[in-house]
Amino acid sequence: MDFEPFERLGAYERLRDGLRAYRLITAMWVRSTMAYRASFAMTALGNFAATALDFVAILLMFSRVDRLGGYSLPEVALLYGVSGVAFGFADLALGSMDRLGRRVRDGTLDTLLVRPVPVLAQVAADRFALRRLGRITQGLLVLGYALAVLDIHWTPLKVLMMPVMLLSGAAIFSAVFVAGGAFQFVAQDASEVQNSFTYGGNTLLQYPPTVFAKDMLRGVTFVLPLAFVNWLPALYVLGRPYPLDLPTWVAFASPVVAALCCALAGLAWRAGLRAYRSTGS
Amino acid sequence: MGTARLYAAVAGSGFRRYATYRIATAAGVFTNTVFGLILAYLFIALWDSKPHLGGYDQAQALTYVWVSQGLLMVVAMMGGGFEDELIERIRTGDIAIDLYRPADLQMWWLAQDMGRALFHLLGRGVVPLLFGALVFDLALPSDPLTWLAFLVAVALGVAVGFSIRFLVALSAFWLLDGAGVAQLTSIAGIFCSGMLLPLNVFPGTLGEVVRALPWSSLIQAPVDVLLGTADPLGTYAVQAAWAAGLLAAGRLVQSVATRRVVVQGG
């Protein structure tokens, strides 16, 4: 790879180089995965099955109750599907970020620092796991079920909301992954904290907001704005009000919130990288 | 050194080994608390619309949430115990060295896993339960004997969890890569142990099947002993039967597998 010295590049070139490096490294891992096709098929199926269990649990609940927090099964399926697909994309692209702490601990991060390739691209693409397509597939199936069964009064705005919601949601979750990685420069051994915001956030969003305490809703609306992944936009599509008395237009704010989250996560990442001190020997 | 002292020392080293990871333990406690919160509000919604679901009242259901979050790592049904290391030793051939040691392979790892479980009970079990008790109305027993009975059920649950994962690890003798089997077993464990939803809530035949499987010994059984919704002695009998049966199966597979190593080594 012929990368120019990093410092002399502008923001656009850096982004372009980063994406190119990310593409090359992920392509390498995909090739190595495909060397064992049977193994890939099994792990992708396992990924699918493991995520599907959450939804099976929801089905089991609905075998005993008609409504959960006032929501019907197809409505919960819509929330579940959107969150699952958005999280699935972020997990596919950046799910390896939680390995960063290990690299900081054992010193192998230094290898990445001396390469003329953006560190974020290298860390994110490290051991790129194509099997995570299983999670996306599972989310898409549940989302498809919800859209087929729900009787939504579609308007052009609501139709547009669907892809916007998935993309913004994926971007918000991606920001959480990157911020979690930045946190691990400092905490090193605390990848589970990151998991509670990524996997925990996804689990939270799979249920109706009416289930949770108002303080939790305020936290995921104003502090860590996960509510913009699916709750706020999806409740607009369903024609239901959000339990916190917010104006309707916040349902459309997801792309802006996502951009803001990504910018903040980028800053956190750079701060973390600058604070990094190698373990030495 | 006597055999009992040897295994006590191994258990002690298992305890100390996991006690080294203090930040990771604190991070794990945080995660269990976050998931506990999500599940607790979910269960409140469920039990609000259907009181006495699965034979629990709301306080018992909430107790179920926080005790099960505390037990997740203790019974290690999602993996994260000794099995990854044992699989790796089988794959690389280091297992041959282990077999020369004057200690039994299964007992050695059982002792190590008991030490690990004890650490996780103290390190990751107590704080989430305390948090849950502070924030929610739980149905915790005041009788120390009930807590003692609970701890016995936890110990038996750990033995069942160990024996399942020991069989999983030994599959690496044949498959070399045990990852697929470990993944399938952890999926079964998550679903059938009652981690997602109490097994009492599972409807009809499915409920009867999951309650009859060995994974019900891991979480459902100890929690029911603590809540007083199950007879301790009957519960122990089921757990002990599973532990004995699965340990015996592990021993059988171990002896078959060990002969394989000798053949491979020439």
Structure tokens at B252: 């059988």
Distance CA(A115)–CA(A163), nearest Å, equals 37
Is B196 within 8 Å of A207 when comparing Cβ atoms? no
Size of interface A-B (CB pairs under 8 A): 94
Select from B34, B46, B196 the Cβ nearest to the Cβ of A65: B46
- What is the reported pTM? 0.91
Is B45 within 8 Å of A210 when comparing Cβ atoms? yes
Q: How far is B101 from chain A (nearest CA, A)?
A: 30
Is B24 within 8 Å of A49 when comparing Cβ atoms? no
Distance CA(B207)–CA(B188), nearest Å, equals 14
Q: Which residues of B touch A187 (CB under 8 A)?
A: 23, 27
Residue A27 carries which side chain, given as an amino acid letter?
Answer: A
Q: Which residues of B touch A188 (CB under 8 A)?
A: 23
Summarised one tens digit per residue, pLDDT across range B145-204 is 999 999 999 999 999 999 999 999 998 888 877 777 888 888 889 899 998 899 999 999
Task: Report the residue of B49, B120, B210 to disrupt the A interface, i.e. the one with the largest count of A CBs within 10 Å.
Answer: B49
Please name the helix (run of DSSP H) or strand (run of DSSP E) that holds residue B54, with its range, or none. Answer: none
Select from B34, B46, B190 the Cβ nearest to the Cβ of A196: B34
Task: Report the residue of B29, B32, B35, B38 to disrupt the A interface, i.e. the one with the largest count of A CBs within 10 Å.
Answer: B38
Give pLDDT, residue A267.
95
Q: What is the DSSP string of B197-224?
A: S-GGGS-HHHHHHHHHSGGGGTTHHHHH
> Residue-wise pLDDT tens for chain B (266 aa)?
578 899 999 999 999 998 888 888 999 999 999 999 999 999 999 999 999 999 999 999 999 999 999 999 999 877 777 888 888 888 888 888 888 888 888 999 999 999 999 999 999 999 999 999 999 999 999 999 999 999 999 999 999 999 999 999 998 888 877 777 888 888 889 899 998 899 999 999 999 999 999 999 999 999 999 999 999 999 999 999 999 999 999 999 999 988 877 655 54
Distance CA(B65)–CA(B201), nearest Å, equals 13
So what's the ipTM on this one? 0.91
Q: Which residues of B touch A189 (CB under 8 A)?
A: 21, 23-24, 27
